[in-house]
A and B are shown apart, each in its own frame.
Chain A
Amino acid sequence: MRLFVIELRKERRTGVFLVFPSAGVLGAVYAFLVFHLRKDTLLSLPSAPMDILLTQLCGIMTVFNLFGIITAACMVCHMEFQGGAAKKMAALPVSAGAVYFCRFLILSMLLLAAAALQNLALLWIGRTDLPQGAFVLGTLLRFAGYVFLAAMPVLSFMVLLASCLQNMWVPLGVGVAGFLTGMAFADTEQPLFLLHPFVVMLKPAAAMNAKPDIAVVIAAIVETAVFLCMGFWLTEKSHYE
């Protein structure tokens, strides 16, 4: 808890506390705008109203969150390398692995806040704009959990990369490349592509119904754990030099 508070204090003026709420607000505004402008077109699609509400708006929200993750991970780790603070931390009685874990936890909580804002917008739209009796809160909550879980491998992967690479442009470039390749392979059925964390994150956005895909859930849990453990091990074992 002490380390978590220290990590929070370090993030002052980095802009990281603005990134995720911005992604959340942008996602929510996008959902309101699209549903109000294209309500009739969307509801005339050959799917259940709940599937339309969740899958048709999910794509852009996911993109906002994805770029939020890439930017925030780069910001948080760049701040450690910018003034040589990482070197100072290496000479202090603090576990580098624990610091890494706290950083991951902070970004996860901020992503959760962004997702909460976006899902509040979906809740509002569902209650006001869907046909009477079509809105199901349980479906929304289940899909929100699924989307959040699918985003965790990218978060875990980006924190790992940004923590290991001192040049911020490298993880930023990898993040953008990951997004582009993820977009290209998101709708493929080949399970091998689930090894790509960006594909996993974009899978719910490419789906045509709001039913969670168990393969995506398993891939998300495994990849998140693997990247997190790798990052923890690397930071704990490696010396500053």
Chain B
Amino acid sequence: MDNIITTERLTKKYKRFTAVDGVSLHIRRGSIYGFLGPNGAGKSTTMKMLLGITAPTAGSFSIDGRHFPEDRTAILKGIGSLIESPAFYANLTGRENLDILRRILELPKDTVDDALELVGLTEAGNRLAGKYSLGMKQRLGLAGALLGRPPLLLLDEPTNGLDPSGIHEIRSLIQSLPERYHCTVMISSHMLSEIERMADDVGILNHGRLLFEGSLEELRCYAGGQGKPAGGLGKSADGGAAAYLQPGGVRLEDVFLAMVEQDNAAGKRRAE
């Protein structure tokens, strides 16, 4: 299988706290990979390790066959990222912020307008980023990630702070990316219904451990075999809305919650 990201027992410890515990991910090229987990599960930390923002304590990973730190520049040139909250220069306008990124990435000038248009920020492009609303900052962060249409996108809760129409707009955009630009998207979100509508594959993380990795269909089978609620899962042709509203259908959220609860209970038993 052609994986763009492969991690091998990736671990991150902060003193005695293990944020990520031996996680082995396999992200297929051209897919949307939903990264699920409750708050503090280690999703952001894993993404930070993939970007070289934080160093793994143990384990390794490769991105498009390349490794940190020796291939850092080559890896980061091909990744658009939005981690935790959008990061920007408050003293610069949205357009100036993107221009800084464009110059660093050595991209043509028109990529800035392209990115602003993609996220619907063209009109506000000349306003100071520090004065943007939370939703606009999120859009700016996303524009920064999409700049130059990189082959790999790492998006950590990208719809945070957006209003419902903004969420729908950005979700549609992300869903369309693999087909439009042949890119791979790794997306984390605490809005599990959102992942259900977008993702091809999912990875479920709890307390730093990977509980499940596979396609939505495999998750359904896995959940059924484990006695967890199952059925009605899978992305429909219209982007998943039908599956979400299917009478009697069980959402990914239910499967996910049951899985996490079981893991938490097992963790408690281990601690006792």
Q: Which A residues have a C-beta under 8 Å from some C-beta of B?
A: 2, 5-6, 9-10, 12-14, 79, 82-88, 90-94, 239-241
Task: Give every chain A residue within 8 A of B87 (Cβ-Cβ).
Answer: 83-88
Task: Give every chain A residue within 8 A of B76 (Cβ-Cβ).
Answer: 91-93
Within 8 A of A (CB), among B94-138: 96, 99-101, 103-106, 128-130
| Contact of B88 (CB < 8 Å), options: A5, A6, A85, A239 | A85
Within the assembled complex, what's the spacing in Å between the Cα atoms of A23 and B168? 52
Task: Give every chain B residue within 8 A of A13 (Cβ-Cβ).
Answer: 91-92, 128
27 CB-based A-B contacts, threshold 8 Å: A2-B106, A6-B103, A9-B99, A9-B100, A9-B103, A12-B92, A13-B92, A14-B91, A82-B89, A82-B90, A83-B89, A84-B85, A84-B86, A86-B87, A90-B52, A90-B53, A91-B52, A91-B76, A91-B81, A92-B105, A93-B74, A93-B77, A94-B104, A239-B54, A239-B55, A240-B53, A241-B48
Q: Are A83 and B90 in contact (CB under 8 A)?
A: yes
| With contact pairs A93-B72, A93-B73, A241-B53 given, residues A85 and B83 touching in the complex (Cβ less than 8 Å) | no
Task: Give every chain B residue within 8 A of A9 (Cβ-Cβ).
Answer: 92, 96, 99-100, 103
Within the assembled complex, what's the spacing in Å between the Cα atoms of A14 and B90? 10
Q: Across chains A and B, which 3 residue pairs bring their CB atoms closest together, nearest first?
A: A84-B87, A88-B87, A93-B76
Number of chain B residues close to chain A: CB under 8 A: 36
Task: Give every chain B residue within 8 A of A91 (Cβ-Cβ).
Answer: 51-53, 76, 79, 81, 83
Q: Are A79 and B51 in contact (CB under 8 A)?
A: no
Within the assembled complex, what's the spacing in Å between the Cα atoms of A9 and B3? 38
Q: Which B residues have a C-beta under 8 Å from some C-beta of A?
A: 48, 51-55, 72-77, 79, 81, 83-92, 96, 99-101, 103-106, 128-130, 144
Assuming A9-B99, A10-B100, A93-B72, what are 17 further A-B pairs, CB within 8 angstroms? A12-B91, A13-B92, A13-B128, A83-B88, A83-B89, A83-B129, A84-B85, A84-B88, A85-B88, A87-B83, A87-B84, A88-B101, A88-B144, A91-B52, A92-B101, A93-B76, A240-B53
Within the assembled complex, what's the spacing in Å between the Cα atoms of A91 and B76? 7
Q: Number of residue pairs across A and B with beta carbons under 8 Å?
A: 83
Task: Give every chain B residue within 8 A of A84 (Cβ-Cβ).
Answer: 85-88
| With contact pairs A87-B83, A87-B87, A241-B48 given, residues A92 and B92 touching in the complex (Cβ less than 8 Å) | no
| With contact pairs A2-B103, A241-B48 given, residues A87 and B130 touching in the complex (Cβ less than 8 Å) | no
